């Protein structure tokens, strides 16, 4: 059942017309931040925004005549878009089952690719069950997101590309959810170059391959694309056999990695796609001392609405932004004088609000919540000191 | 004085060790939005985050023995980082003059590359003058950002790459500020393929090449990287001779293009780098009906702080976010009831505030400013209708 290098090479020929060979991008600044020679496999630039198109295309192609009856799956994520794209390419019907209330952007993306989207059930499991029922009732083929040899072989084509495109490849770091991408890539890489290390990265809140016990209920993580609670029947043993190590990263590291990838590498990468960089930043993985460490950026389908929060968080933690809570006398000029202290210290006011509830205030006092753009943590600290020297009771609200 | 194709080819050899050959990326979704086959020259992925490294490296290399005395310039932007990088590569001293209060991120980037950064003067012109004085006094070479044949030849190497990498190239769209990039690229492209159209794009608020008269004082634009008020002595006539057409785009189109590039193409592109996509989106340029239209994304050095505002703006205009101002009775349950109307309509509450000033309110009334996440403009409209049917005086605050 498990695919081998020949299957992966065959998959490459099958999917060549659909799948891009995504660029490998070197980043001096990122390498400098991390230490070691780090290169990025920019699979976020792949068609449909993720590697999933590789496996989905190989799967649909493998169906032969059965494909005309159509394909279906339960997914609200990258697999859904990938399957819709592959089905459209081969001209076969596609039905995608998503939980009620799934992100409209994902639904729109599938519909734009010609798929029928059915909202069903409160959780993903119910949508998956509905897709399987639909397949049984109609003769459509249910296409699993990772636990399928054709899918694993398709994802493995990424492994061929990194071997061929990076001369001094020493280590490949791969996001690990269900395990389809990493097992395919590891089979390709290790079969050709057993000396190259392959490391999987999971989100700490959902890390079954790293020995974590999944919590009940929905998982809250920036890396929702890899929030899979149990190893696959096929992929579990493959990861066991082919992958050198599995590590985990926390949500702060993922958030830092996403912002760093935007700011330094100019790439827009989803949380699941950024865990490899997060692992390097948090020293969960050390880059190879000799040769290149390749980080697979597996996808770029970020909900735009998440980005402002990520950037605000980064601005606070990196000393670009300072929020304070202060207590001032309820007298003319009190706020003006406080703001003048900050202006003299070179801070640009972004926002100021009076806070009259929730603080223990004298009736002649007022609370102030103010946010400034600043240039460094040192400057922020100096501003607090200056305001205290000027007689204000003040504290940063975000440290 | 003006460089020709041979100079550009020679520049390519000179800069080969420093400059990346950036990828050309096809985007089906972007092509679908725009119509025609659109490909992106992702020069935002270039070293130092912009094309400027091409010209700066060729310039420093051209100095020969004089280079050891050092190089200097006045710039708070991409040229400064590029010159610092090139100087570091060749092991020569570099001094960058920036206006007082220049963005700390840019200053830090230059310092990280080994340059000395001097803050001088209130405006860029004063920093430039100081750099020239410094050059006269010390024997350092003042390196102009665009009006220099070695710089133009260096930038022209991008033209060689698009010709070679895009088989069916029909049109190249290039951001136009000082004119260094577009004149170099146009000389390369037109010398090899006179049939390929080369179009320049300027920000409407600063468009001297499109016949605009520059306003006095600082220019406020998202495309600050191309906010150059006068054509260069060298580049002005080159643009006149080699470029087919120059168009302009407004700030809304630039903002839309930046968000679209993130959301669809997964690329982080600065305002000046996004004007080509803005020109296509706003129909200032039509894509070629046959063959590929290449849009040069000239740089990716966005100030992170700008991005949240861009995304908020996009969410409002695309129906993902609805802000309303409403008037409610000052009675228990009034706000709860209003919010229930929105919840029933499927809107997720993001933020709610009482507004008691600035509205003409009865003493028993309160103003409410509320923001919701919604799924479409249709849903937003239906929510307003439902709230009015329920008896509320309410209006969108952002339409």
Q: What is the pLDDT along chain B (399 residues), one digit of tens a residue?
A: 899 999 999 999 999 999 999 999 998 888 888 889 999 999 999 999 999 999 999 999 999 999 999 999 999 899 999 999 999 999 999 999 999 878 888 898 999 999 999 999 988 889 999 999 999 999 999 999 999 999 999 999 999 999 999 999 999 999 999 999 999 999 999 999 999 999 999 999 999 999 988 778 888 999 999 999 999 999 999 999 999 999 999 999 999 999 999 999 999 999 999 999 999 999 999 999 999 999 999 999 998 989 999 999 999 888 889 999 999 888 888 899 999 999 999 899 999 988 877 667 777 788 999 999 998 889 999 999 999 999 999 998 864
Cα–Cα distance measured from residue A51 to residue B49, given in angstroms and rounded to the nearest whole number: 25
Cα–Cα distance measured from residue A98 to residue B387, given in angstroms and rounded to the nearest whole number: 29
State yes or no: pLDDT of A399 exceeds 70. Answer: no
Cα–Cα distance measured from residue A272 to residue A291, given in angstroms and rounded to the nearest whole number: 25
Would you call B308 and A308 a contact, using CB atoms and an 8 Å cutoff? Answer: yes
Interchain CB contact of A353 with B (< 8 Å)? no
State yes or no: pLDDT of A329 exceeds 70. Answer: yes
In chain B, residues with a C-beta closer than 8 Å to the C-beta of A26 are 20
Count of CA atoms in the C-beta half-sphere (13 A) of B203: 27
B41 is catalytic: no
Nearest CA in chain B to A112: B29
Would you call A300 and B25 a contact, using CB atoms and an 8 Å cutoff? Answer: no
B52 is catalytic: yes
Could you say which of B47, B49, B308 has the minimum Cβ distance to residue A311? Answer: B308
Report pLDDT digits (tens) over A93-128: 999 999 987 888 889 899 999 999 999 998 888 999
A280 closest CA partner among A26, A43, A25, A36: A36
Interchain CB contact of B306 with A (< 8 Å)? no
**B140 and B95 in contact (C-beta within 8 Å)?**
yes
Would you call B263 and A45 a contact, using CB atoms and an 8 Å cutoff? Answer: no
What tokens appear for A25 in the block? Answer: 């991008």
Interchain CB contact of A369 with B (< 8 Å)? no
In chain B, residues with a C-beta closer than 8 Å to the C-beta of A262 are 268, 304, 307
Could you tell me which residues come within 8 angstroms of residue B77 by beta carbon, excluding any fewer than 6 positions away?
B106, B224, B225, B301
Mean pLDDT over A268-291 rounds to 96
Beta strands A71-74 and A94-98, pairing class: parallel
ipTM: 0.91
What tokens appear for A83 in the block? Answer: 């399957």
Which residues pair with residue A365 across a beta bridge? A329
**B168 and B195 in contact (C-beta within 8 Å)?**
no
pLDDT confidence bin for A30, thresholds 50/70/90:
confident
pLDDT confidence bin for A75, thresholds 50/70/90:
very high
Cα–Cα distance measured from residue A42 to residue A21, given in angstroms and rounded to the nearest whole number: 10
Could you tell me which residues come within 8 angstroms of residue B2 by beta carbon, excluding any fewer than 6 positions away?
B149, B152, B187, B234, B237, B238
B94 closest CA partner among A265, B102, B75, B104: B75
State yes or no: pLDDT of A24 exceeds 80. Answer: yes
Interchain CB contact of A390 with B (< 8 Å)? no
| Active-site position among B52, B59, B106, B190 | B52
B369 Cα distance to chain centroid: 33
Q: What pLDDT does B399 receive?
A: 45
State yes or no: pLDDT of A195 exceeds 90. Answer: yes
A188 closest CA partner among A48, A66, A51: A51
* Vertex A296 angle, CA A295 and A302, to 5°: 120
Counts of helices then strands in chain B (DSSP H, E): 14, 14
Would you call A267 and B26 a contact, using CB atoms and an 8 Å cutoff? Answer: no
Would you call B315 and A304 a contact, using CB atoms and an 8 Å cutoff? Answer: yes
Cα–Cα distance measured from residue A370 to residue A112, given in angstroms and rounded to the nearest whole number: 44
Cα–Cα distance measured from residue A104 to residue A115, given in angstroms and rounded to the nearest whole number: 14
B113 Cα distance to chain centroid: 23
Beta strands A24-26 and B245-249, pairing class: unpaired
Interface test with B, best of A41, A266, A312, A351 (most B CBs within 10 A): A266
**B370 and B324 in contact (C-beta within 8 Å)?**
yes
Beta strands A321-329 and A365-373, pairing class: antiparallel
Place of tokens 């239209």: B293
Cα–Cα distance measured from residue A204 to residue A217, given in angstroms and rounded to the nearest whole number: 16
Q: What pLDDT does A101 receive?
A: 79
pLDDT confidence bin for A229, thresholds 50/70/90:
very high
Could you tell me which residues come within 8 angstroms of residue B98 by beta carbon, excluding any fewer than 6 positions away?
B74, B75, B76, B80, B106, B107, B117, B118, B119, B120, B127
Count of CA atoms in the C-beta half-sphere (13 A) of B5: 11
Interchain CB contact of A312 with B (< 8 Å)? yes
Q: What pLDDT does A343 receive?
A: 93
Q: What pLDDT does A265 receive?
A: 95
pTM of the complete model? 0.92
**In whole numbers, what is the pLDDT of chain A averaged over residues?**
93
Min Cα distance B266 → chain A (Å) is 5
Cα–Cα distance measured from residue B7 to residue A159, given in angstroms and rounded to the nearest whole number: 40
Min Cα distance B152 → chain A (Å) is 25
| Range with top average pLDDT, A283-297, A303-317, A318-332 | A283-297
Residues A80, A85, A87, A93, CA torsion sign? positive
Which residues of A are known to be catalytic?
Answer: 52, 298
DSSP conformation class of B47: G
The beta strand positions in chain B, using DSSP E, are 24-26, 37-42, 71-74, 94-98, 116-119, 141-142, 169-175, 197-203, 245-249, 292-297, 321-329, 348-355, 365-373, 393-396
In angstroms, the Cα distances linking A290 to A35, A175, B20, B264, B355 are: 11, 22, 22, 36, 61
Interchain CB contact of A197 with B (< 8 Å)? no
Report pLDDT digits (tens) over A128-170: 999 999 999 999 999 999 999 999 999 999 999 999 999 999 9
Burial tier of B398 (Cβ tally within 10 Å: 0-12, 13-18, 19+): middle
Helices (H), A345-392: 377-389
In chain A, residues with a C-beta closer than 8 Å to the C-beta of B267 are 45, 266-268
């Amino acid at each position: 059942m498990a695919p081998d290098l020949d299957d992966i090479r065959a998959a490459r020929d099958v999917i060549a017309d659909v799948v891009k060979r995504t660029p490998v991008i070197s980043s001096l600044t990122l390498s400098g931040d991390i230490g070691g020679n780090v290169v990025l496999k920019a699979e976020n630039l792949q068609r449909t925004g993720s590697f999933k198109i590789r496996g989905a295309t190989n799967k649909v192609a493998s169906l032969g005549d059965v494909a005309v009856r159509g394909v279906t799956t339960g997914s609200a994520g990258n697999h859904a878009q990938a399957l819709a794209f592959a089905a459209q390419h081969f001209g076969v019907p596609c039905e995608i089952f998503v939980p009620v209330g799934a992100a409209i952007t994902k639904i729109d993306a599938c519909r734009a690719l010609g798929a029928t989207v059915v909202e069903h059930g409160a959780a993903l499991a119910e949508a998956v069950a509905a897709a399987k029922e639909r397949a049984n009732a109609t003769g459509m083929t249910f296409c699993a997101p990772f636990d399928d040899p054709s899918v694993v072989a398709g994802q493995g084509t990424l492994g061929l590309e990194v071997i061929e495109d990076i001369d001094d490849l020493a280590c490949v770091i791969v996001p690990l959810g269900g395990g389809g991408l990493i097992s395919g890539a590891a089979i390709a890489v290790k079969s050709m170059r057993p000396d190259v290390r392959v490391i999987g990265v999971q989100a700490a809140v959902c890390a079954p391959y790293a020995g974590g016990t999944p919590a009940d209920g929905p998982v809250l993580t920036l890396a929702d694309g890899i929030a899979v609670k149990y190893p696959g029947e096929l992929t579990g043993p493959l990861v066991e056999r082919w992958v050198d190590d599995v590590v985990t990263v926390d949500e702060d590291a993922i958030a830092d990695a996403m912002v760093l990838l935007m700011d330094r590498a100019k790439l827009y990468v989803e949380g699941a796609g950024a865990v490899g960089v997060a692992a390097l930043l948090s020293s969960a993985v050390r880059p190879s001392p000799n040769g290149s460490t390749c980080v697979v950026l597996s996808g770029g389908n970020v909900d735009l609405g998440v980005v402002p929060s990520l950037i605000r968080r980064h601005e606070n933690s990196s000393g670009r932004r300072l929020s304070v809570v202060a207590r001032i006398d309820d007298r003319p000029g009190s706020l003006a004088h406080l703001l003048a202290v900050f202006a003299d210290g070179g801070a640009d006011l972004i926002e100021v609000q009076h806070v009259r509830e929730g603080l223990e205030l004298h009736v002649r006092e007022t609370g102030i919540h103010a946010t400034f753009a600043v240039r460094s943590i040192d400057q922020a600290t100096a501003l607090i000191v200056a305001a205290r020297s000027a007689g204000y009771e003040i504290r940063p609200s975000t440290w």
